[in-house]
Amino acid sequence: MANQQLFLGIDCGTQGTKALVLDAVSGQVLGLGAAAHTMISGPNGCREQDTAQWLDAFTESTRQALAAAGVDGQAILGIGVSGQQHGLVLLDEQGLVLRPAKLWCDTETTPENDRLLAHLGGESRSLERLGVVIAPGYTVSKLLWTREQHPQLFDRVASVLLPHDFLNHWLTGRHCTEFGDASGTGYFNVRTRQWDTRLLQHIDPSGRLHAALPELIEAHQPVGRILPAIAAHLGINPNAVVASGGGDNMMGAIGTGNIQPGVITMSLGSSGTVYAYSAEPAVSPQPSVATFCSSSGGWLPLICTMNLTNATGAIRELLALDIETFNTLVAEAPIGADGVSMLPFLNGERVPALPHATGSLLGLTTTNLTRANLCRAVVEGTTFGLRYGLDLLRANGLQAHSIRLIGGGSKSAVWRQIVADIMDTTVICTEQSEAAALGAAIQAAWCHSGSSLGLADLCERCVKLDPASETRPLAQNVAASQTAYERYRQHVATL
């Protein structure tokens, strides 16, 4: 037993918090835990969460993971935290949370974002200045919204944090952030890796926001040690090191071994993401590509679609199907679903950039309107959005030998085949589907080692691919999928 080095990885997402115990010597995941969060939804696209729920879920999932692993929390050497990106947590002078956190999926601040984008001079000027195009989900418009909607509360702001920064602050008492998660704020320059303080000055000329920013640290630097009271509360070793942590996509990259060029990670979750490591900040001229910094020392060009398993889930519920029956029906229908196309834009869409779009079914006839075709059409429609995004990344010079699939949709063999055929690339799942929590634990081991080297060795040891899931594109399917994709592109063009 002596030859173990145990690290705790935490992933605080929209639906809940996952915890994972990793032995960095054997590379084995020893135990998992999970606890749910609820969403506060309001009119105009308001999506918020009570940060106290995150702390409860952190505690509960950690206790579960330690129990499942059968290890003593005193053996934990370090903790890494992954957090949902773009969320806004505001603290006062005393370190108390001022209001619920506005989340990445909140669209209530769209008018504020439009005004800020106009102030920057439009999409091309935003790209020029920040290296990203600010979008309604980003943190920056949430700050302007708070100042206008809650001026008294805004006057008490002493600290502006992202969800993972807030959890690190709870653990250590320090206000820090790292480049990966900071990239999604909209007031950070991804090329120079510095805050754009002029933009914050524009929102609030008093300088309050600039003073409230957390300190930027490198990915391999720890934030510090866990506070004794929190260590006792969690049942963790009080000498445990708290890693820099990062956004969920950045931690997912580490947890899939996506830390050097040639690998693409594709997440089939409620939203879909595609990202790949880049050693240089090669900013795409396409506004849909977010050239974020990675949490492993480089960059992570990324696209995000708003509709994935939320759309397939909607069709499943409509037809009252369990997952197994749904997958059987998808496999029964031919590629292209006999001419049935679904544009699955139930939440509007980011890629392709159609924020005000709605979903639609096209090409229906008396003969092709079947349950199987509807099921096939929604899976193809959501996957075509990812193909559209992958093409944008490829146009910017991205090369890939294989795609590493994570997220709920990756568990479906039929969906894996559809992805392989539509992308014309071999796909494979990682053994550990909680890639963000795993990435956070690996990063904790990296920060604990105290060296900027060694991440590749850790990923080599701890990220295991599942050979049984490997799916290669089939030549006849690739051609038929391409035809169906071109039909999808024509339908999108009419929007």
Regarding whether 147 and 11 lie in a shared domain, the answer is yes
pTM of the model: 0.94
Regarding whether 226 and 263 lie in a shared domain, the answer is no
Q: Give the residue numbers spanning the domain of 79.
A: 6-247
Q: Which residues of the chain have pLDDT under 70?
A: 1-2, 452
How confident is the model at residue 44, as a pLDDT? 86
Helix (H) or strand (E) holding 475, with range, is helix 475-494
How confident is the model at residue 2, as a pLDDT? 55
Residue 102 lies in a domain: yes
Closest CA relative to residue 179, chosen from 271, 266, 85, 48: 85
Regarding whether 43 and 117 lie in a shared domain, the answer is yes
Residue 452 lies in a domain: no
Regarding whether 130 and 34 lie in a shared domain, the answer is yes
Euclidean distance between the first and final Cα of the chain, in Å? 61
Regarding whether 238 and 266 lie in a shared domain, the answer is no
Residue 458 lies in a domain: no
Inter-CA distances, 467 with 30, 151, 403, 427, 449, Å: 21, 55, 13, 10, 30
Residue 252 lies in a domain: no
Residue where a domain stops, chosen among 203, 221, 247 = 247
**CATH number, position 324:** 3.30.420.40
Regarding whether 362 and 232 lie in a shared domain, the answer is no
Regarding whether 293 and 171 lie in a shared domain, the answer is no
Regarding whether 162 and 41 lie in a shared domain, the answer is yes
Regarding whether 412 and 349 lie in a shared domain, the answer is yes
How confident is the model at residue 378, as a pLDDT? 98
Closest CA relative to residue 164, chosen from 89, 107, 267: 89
Structure tokens at 262: 């040639």
Residue 448 lies in a domain: no
Regarding whether 167 and 45 lie in a shared domain, the answer is yes
Regarding whether 194 and 228 lie in a shared domain, the answer is yes
Residue 63 lies in a domain: yes
Regarding whether 124 and 24 lie in a shared domain, the answer is yes
How confident is the model at residue 312, as a pLDDT? 97
Residue 231 lies in a domain: yes
Residue where a domain stops, chosen among 214, 247, 280 = 247
Rounded to whole angstroms, the Cα distance separating 169 from 257 reads: 27
> What's the length of the chain?
495
Residue where a domain stops, chosen among 203, 224, 247 = 247
What's the total number of domains in the chain?
Answer: 2
Residues that are catalytic:
248
Rounded to whole angstroms, the Cα distance separating 437 from 21 reads: 9
Residue 451 lies in a domain: no
Residue 152 burial by Cβ neighbours in a 10 Å radius (0-12, 13-18, 19+): exposed
CB 245 within 8 A of CB 480: no
How confident is the model at residue 436, as a pLDDT? 96
